[in-house]
Amino acid sequence: MAKLVDPQFQEIELRNLHLACKNWGIFQLVGHEVSDESVKSMHRKSQEFFDLSPEEKKLYAQKPGSLEGYGQAFVISEDQKLEWCDMIFLKAIPTHTRKLEFWPEKQPHNFREALDTYSHDMKKIAVSIVGFIAMALGLDAKKLSKAFDGGSYDVRMNCYPPCPEPERVIGISSHADISGITLLTDCGDIPGLQVLKNGQWVFVEPITCGIVVNIGIIMEVVSNGIYKAPYHRASVNREKDRFSIVTFCYPDKKFEIKPAEQLVNSDSMALYKSFTYDEYTQSFYERTKLNDDGVPFVDTLKI
Ligand SMILES: O=C(O)CCC(=O)C(=O)O
Ligand SMILES: [Fe+2]
């Protein structure tokens, strides 16, 4: 990040960014301005939350039909296999969308303050990195940064307990994020996140103070497929808990989700349809209610 903002290094670093987004769709950001203390404090609060008794955690349990709160993602049937992951999912920004009934209050002490600071820090990073991603694509950096400045930020804290037979379970199964971009911080040094590259699962090794950035499906559409939202999953460790904190970053609700005009011309046709923000989220949630038909969500967006 320090190199992206430094005029002396910017051009070369934008090329590195372009290659990372094009060849991997995922990279680690270091040299950023977010304080270590804010990130570590959120990590501690998240671990303390998962350490509470089941009864205490259930005070913040998801309600039927809603993803927010403590529980499991996308449980649609009694027969489905569950993921080896405990999570709490909270909408954090804009602040008026917060549903405080799901925000742990007395315990862990100062959880809410830590999440408030953390989510604003992640927003700051997202606003600047999408600007650089826009520049790497030859797009208007201000327009994209502005869209994410008015955007929404949902935070998911994951706890992956150890499993004596880790090869028989999955923490989070393979998926691409539907966000614009996603920012992940690992609360320790246990690798778990894996990204699919040329048919192989590759571990993302945690870097202290690094922020893992991955391209979400919205940015895939905006880039007209130059950047792809990578498939990734979380594996489980045999002996140790792993904790991660994931921030899904979305543009503002007025942002049209479609290939950027500058990237569409007679040589390169638009590969994706155009959607309003509401149409996009609606079509995703409609699909989660269906039985899995094997068609990836991103394919339903293509022309
Ligand atoms: O915890 C991880 O490593 C991955 C989490 C993730 O992909 C998600 O929450 O969407
Ligand atoms: Fe993900």
Q: Is the pLDDT of residue 101 over 90?
A: yes
Overall domain count for the chain: 1
Q: From the alpha carbon of 193, which atom of ligand 1 is closest?
A: 3
The answer to whether the complex's ipTM is over 0.90 is yes
| 90, 158, 235: residue to mutate for ligand 1 pocket, most atoms within 8 A of CB | 158
pLDDT of residue 74: 60
Residue 289: phi, psi to the nearest 5? -85, -20
Ligand nearest to C-alpha 243: 1
- pLDDT value at 77 more than 80: no
Compute CA 181 distance to the chain's CA centroid, rounded to the nearest angstrom. 6
Do the Cβ atoms of 25 and 225 come closer than 8 Å?
A: no
Ligand 1 touching residue 68 (CB < 6 A):
no
Q: Which of 27, 23, 24, 25 is nearest to 4 (CA)?
A: 27
Cβ partners under 8 Å of residue 31, min gap 6: 1, 2, 3
The domain in which residue 10 lies consists of: 2-301
Question: For atom 3 of ligand 1, which residue has the closest CA?
Answer: 193
> pLDDT value at position 68?
94
166-180, 211-225, 269-283: which has the minimum mean pLDDT? 166-180
User: In sequence order, what E strands does 66-206 have?
Assistant: 69-71, 86-93, 152-160, 172-175, 181-186, 193-197, 200-203
- The amino acid occupying position 121 is D
167, with CB counted inside 10 A (0-12, 13-18, 19+), is: exposed
pLDDT bucket at 78, cuts 50 / 70 / 90: low
Which atom of ligand 1 lies nearest, measured to the CA of 242? 1
User: Which ligand sits closest to the CA of 159?
Assistant: 1
Say what the pLDDT of residue 28 is.
Answer: 97
Element (H, E) at 219: helix 217-222
CA of 6 to the centre of ligand 1 (A): 31
User: Rounded to whole angstroms, what are the CA distances from 244 to 6, 45, 185?
Assistant: 30, 12, 6
Encode pLDDT of 142-201 as tens digits: 999 999 999 999 999 999 999 998 888 889 989 999 999 999 999 888 999 999 999 999
Distance CA 126, CA 213 (A): 9
pLDDT-derived band at 289, boundaries 50, 70, 90: confident
pLDDT (0 to 100) of residue 153: 98
Residue 81 has pLDDT above 80, yes or no: no
- Is residue 125 helix, strand or coil? helix
CATH number at residue 101: 2.60.120.330
What tens digit of pLDDT does each residue of 229-268 get? Answer: 999 999 999 999 999 999 999 999 999 999 999 999 988 9
pTM of structure = 0.96
The answer to whether 225 and 262 are in contact (CB under 8 A) is: no
Instruction: Please list, residue by residue across 190-202, b when 16 or more beta carbons sit within 10 angstroms of its beta carbon and e when fewer do.
Output: bebbbbeeeeeee
